[in-house]
Amino acid sequence: MKINILCLYYDLMDLYGDTGNVRVLKYHLDDLGIKYNINYLSIDDKLSLKDYDLVLIGASTEENRDICLNHLLKYKKDINNAIDSNKFFLVTGNALGMFGKKLYDKDALGTFNFSVNKSEERVSKEVILENKICKPIYGFMNHSDEVVSNDNPLFEDEGVLYKNFYGTYVLGPILSRNPDFLEYFLKKLVLSKDKKFKFKKLNLSLEKKAYDEFIEFKKTKIFNSRKA
């Protein structure tokens, strides 16, 4: 078994260290003894999505996102076919906007039935998001996108979950900050290649300690602010 990973637009869409998700996956794949191949491609490269099991795209400036969208539109049919054929995608930050019908005044990939308008107010905050697949996700958002008519939310009313496509406006290395989500995502990816693979316990003690202490801190902070 070998897992083929594409880190797409690593140079233009890594505003908050989103490529950290690649390093986290590498660490645990090595620990599990699973072979992998990772390619880093950008706008000067040709894409062959059928060659990959997982595609990762991170956050960027709005200008860089427009540049990458123009490149991605050349592969619109291939991208949508890859998603429908259960390829894994992890799309973080404002990269998610490229997969809707419209991105501001431009046509986007049309993969999902939502549009993105330019908001007059910027969302800039820490979030804790409930979901149906793992413990609450925590992270940070910073964007000016207003998402309209999202039919497939991943977390509460945010993000997209469709087959093996996971998209969220949460920024950065979401896998390292959310060990329960990392374990869920990694196991699902590996089992898609080998249903009989025997997992050993993942080494997530430090990640889980950091996660638990942060969640407890946020709950205490909210409780005390209400009490005051």
Residue-wise pLDDT for 74-123, tens only, equals 999 999 999 999 999 999 999 999 999 999 999 999 999 899 999 988 98
Containing structural domain, residue 115:
2-227
Average pLDDT over residues 130-140: 89
Pairing outcome for strands 115-129 and 137-148: antiparallel
How far is residue 195's CA from residue 113's CA, in Å, rounded to a whole number? 32
CATH assignment at residue 81:
3.40.50.880
Beta-carbon contacts of residue 48 (< 8 Å; ≥ 6 apart)? 78
Tally of domains in the chain: 1
For the chain, the distance separating the N- and C-terminal CA atoms, rounded to the nearest angstrom, is 56
Share of the chain above pLDDT 70, in %: 94
**Calpha distance 189→88 (Å, rounded):** 7
